[in-house]
Protein backbone atom coordinates (compact mmCIF):
# COMPACT_ATOMS: atom_id res chain seq x y z
CA UNK A 1 0.00 0.00 0.00
CA UNK A 2 1.05 3.54 -0.51
CA UNK A 3 1.69 5.94 2.33
CA UNK A 4 -1.23 8.13 1.28
CA UNK A 5 -3.61 5.18 1.49
CA UNK A 6 -2.17 4.25 4.90
CA UNK A 7 -2.89 7.75 6.22
CA UNK A 8 -6.42 7.63 4.83
CA UNK A 9 -7.09 4.27 6.50
CA UNK A 10 -5.66 5.44 9.83
CA UNK A 11 -7.77 8.61 9.65
CA UNK A 12 -10.89 6.58 8.83
CA UNK A 13 -10.20 4.22 11.72
CA UNK A 14 -9.64 7.18 14.07
CA UNK A 15 -13.00 8.65 13.05
CA UNK A 16 -14.74 5.34 13.72
CA UNK A 17 -13.09 5.06 17.15
CA UNK A 18 -14.16 8.62 17.99
CA UNK A 19 -17.79 8.16 16.84
CA UNK A 20 -18.60 4.67 18.17
CA UNK A 21 -18.76 5.68 21.89
CA UNK A 22 -21.15 8.48 20.97
CA UNK A 23 -23.42 6.14 19.03
CA UNK A 24 -23.45 3.26 21.51
CA UNK A 25 -25.64 4.00 24.51
CA UNK A 26 -24.81 0.81 26.39
CA UNK A 27 -21.87 1.24 28.80
CA UNK A 28 -21.19 -2.49 28.72
CA UNK A 29 -20.42 -2.43 24.99
CA UNK A 30 -18.26 0.66 25.34
CA UNK A 31 -16.33 -1.06 28.15
CA UNK A 32 -15.82 -4.14 25.98
CA UNK A 33 -14.54 -1.94 23.13
CA UNK A 34 -12.15 -0.21 25.54
CA UNK A 35 -10.75 -3.59 26.60
CA UNK A 36 -10.44 -4.61 22.95
CA UNK A 37 -8.49 -1.41 22.24
CA UNK A 38 -6.18 -1.88 25.22
CA UNK A 39 -5.44 -5.48 24.31
CA UNK A 40 -4.92 -4.53 20.66
CA UNK A 41 -2.25 -2.03 21.69
CA UNK A 42 -0.63 -4.69 23.87
CA UNK A 43 -0.60 -7.23 21.03
CA UNK A 44 0.75 -4.71 18.53
CA UNK A 45 3.66 -3.99 20.87
CA UNK A 46 4.31 -7.69 21.28
CA UNK A 47 4.11 -8.18 17.50
CA UNK A 48 6.64 -5.41 16.98
CA UNK A 49 9.05 -7.01 19.43
CA UNK A 50 8.61 -10.66 18.54
CA UNK A 51 7.49 -10.48 14.93
CA UNK A 52 9.68 -7.78 13.44
CA UNK A 53 12.65 -7.72 15.83
CA UNK A 54 12.72 -11.46 16.43
CA UNK A 55 13.26 -11.02 20.18
CA UNK A 56 11.43 -13.28 22.61
CA UNK A 57 10.00 -11.34 25.53
CA UNK A 58 8.19 -13.09 28.34
CA UNK A 59 7.89 -9.98 30.51
CA UNK A 60 5.59 -7.99 28.27
CA UNK A 61 2.71 -8.27 30.74
CA UNK A 62 4.90 -6.81 33.49
CA UNK A 63 5.25 -3.53 31.58
CA UNK A 64 1.52 -3.58 30.86
CA UNK A 65 0.75 -4.04 34.57
CA UNK A 66 3.30 -1.46 35.63
CA UNK A 67 1.70 1.12 33.35
CA UNK A 68 -1.78 0.21 34.55
CA UNK A 69 -0.84 0.51 38.22
CA UNK A 70 1.12 3.72 37.67
CA UNK A 71 -1.72 5.46 35.83
CA UNK A 72 -4.35 4.31 38.31
CA UNK A 73 -2.29 5.45 41.29
CA UNK A 74 -1.63 8.82 39.67
CA UNK A 75 -5.32 9.41 38.95
CA UNK A 76 -6.85 8.20 42.19
CA UNK A 77 -4.20 8.98 44.81
CA UNK A 78 -2.63 12.14 43.40
CA UNK A 79 -5.61 13.52 41.44
CA UNK A 80 -4.00 13.70 38.02
CA UNK A 81 -6.31 13.96 35.00
CA UNK A 82 -6.55 10.60 33.18
CA UNK A 83 -4.77 11.79 30.03
CA UNK A 84 -1.88 13.30 32.00
CA UNK A 85 -1.63 10.16 34.12
CA UNK A 86 -1.54 8.03 30.98
CA UNK A 87 1.27 10.15 29.57
CA UNK A 88 3.28 10.15 32.81
CA UNK A 89 2.76 6.41 33.31
CA UNK A 90 3.98 5.81 29.76
CA UNK A 91 7.09 7.87 30.46
CA UNK A 92 7.67 5.98 33.70
CA UNK A 93 7.29 2.57 32.04
CA UNK A 94 9.54 3.70 29.19
CA UNK A 95 12.19 4.71 31.73
CA UNK A 96 11.91 1.35 33.51
CA UNK A 97 12.15 -0.40 30.13
CA UNK A 98 15.25 1.63 29.31
CA UNK A 99 16.87 0.71 32.62
CA UNK A 100 16.01 -2.96 32.11
CA UNK A 101 16.75 -2.95 28.40
CA UNK A 102 20.27 -1.59 28.53
CA UNK A 103 21.78 -4.73 30.06
CA UNK A 104 19.13 -7.14 28.76
CA UNK A 105 19.46 -6.35 25.07
CA UNK A 106 23.03 -7.60 25.09
CA UNK A 107 21.57 -11.04 25.72
CA UNK A 108 20.44 -13.31 22.91
CA UNK A 109 18.11 -16.26 22.53
CA UNK A 110 16.96 -18.05 25.65
CA UNK A 111 19.01 -15.76 27.91
CA UNK A 112 16.94 -12.74 26.88
CA UNK A 113 13.78 -14.76 27.40
CA UNK A 114 14.93 -15.75 30.89
CA UNK A 115 15.79 -12.15 31.79
CA UNK A 116 12.38 -10.87 30.70
CA UNK A 117 10.67 -13.81 32.41
CA UNK A 118 12.52 -12.94 35.61
CA UNK A 119 11.38 -9.32 35.37
CA UNK A 120 7.80 -10.49 34.84
CA UNK A 121 7.95 -12.73 37.90
CA UNK A 122 9.51 -9.97 40.02
CA UNK A 123 6.76 -7.55 39.01
CA UNK A 124 4.08 -10.17 39.70
CA UNK A 125 5.44 -10.69 43.22
CA UNK A 126 5.66 -6.93 43.82
CA UNK A 127 2.10 -6.35 42.61
CA UNK A 128 0.85 -9.19 44.78
CA UNK A 129 2.70 -8.03 47.90
CA UNK A 130 1.96 -4.33 47.49
CA UNK A 131 -1.75 -4.79 46.83
CA UNK A 132 -2.50 -7.96 48.82
CA UNK A 133 -4.73 -6.20 51.41
CA UNK A 134 -6.80 -4.89 48.51
CA UNK A 135 -8.53 -8.21 48.02
CA UNK A 136 -10.70 -7.47 51.04
CA UNK A 137 -11.84 -4.07 49.80
CA UNK A 138 -13.41 -3.53 46.42
CA UNK A 139 -12.19 0.08 46.08
CA UNK A 140 -8.57 -0.50 47.13
CA UNK A 141 -7.13 -0.45 43.61
CA UNK A 142 -7.27 3.21 42.63
CA UNK A 143 -9.74 3.80 39.80
CA UNK A 144 -10.53 7.24 38.44
CA UNK A 145 -14.20 8.29 38.94
CA UNK A 146 -14.68 8.56 35.17
CA UNK A 147 -13.83 4.86 34.81
CA UNK A 148 -15.91 3.63 37.76
CA UNK A 149 -19.07 3.74 35.64
CA UNK A 150 -17.69 0.93 33.45
CA UNK A 151 -17.36 -1.48 36.41
CA UNK A 152 -13.81 -2.40 35.56
Categorize the per-residue pLDDT at 131 as very low, low, confident or very high, splitting at 50, 70 and 90. Answer: low
Residue 150 has pLDDT above 60, yes or no: no
**Long-range CB contacts for residues 31-39, cutoff 8 Å, separation at least 24:** 31/150, 31/151, 31/152, 34/150
Where exactly are the structural domains of the chain? 1-54, 58-152
Dihedral over Cα of 39, 143, 24, 11: its sign: negative
Mean pLDDT for 35-60 is 83
Say which range, 10-14, 31-35, 84-88, 131-135, has the weakest mean pLDDT. 131-135
Q: Which of 11-20, 82-91, 122-131 is the least confident region?
A: 122-131
**This prediction's pTM:** 0.69
Amino acid sequence: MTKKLDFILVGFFAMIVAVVPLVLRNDYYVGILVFIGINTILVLGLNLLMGYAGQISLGHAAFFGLGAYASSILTKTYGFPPVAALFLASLFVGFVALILGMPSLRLRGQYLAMATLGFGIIMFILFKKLFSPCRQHSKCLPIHPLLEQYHL
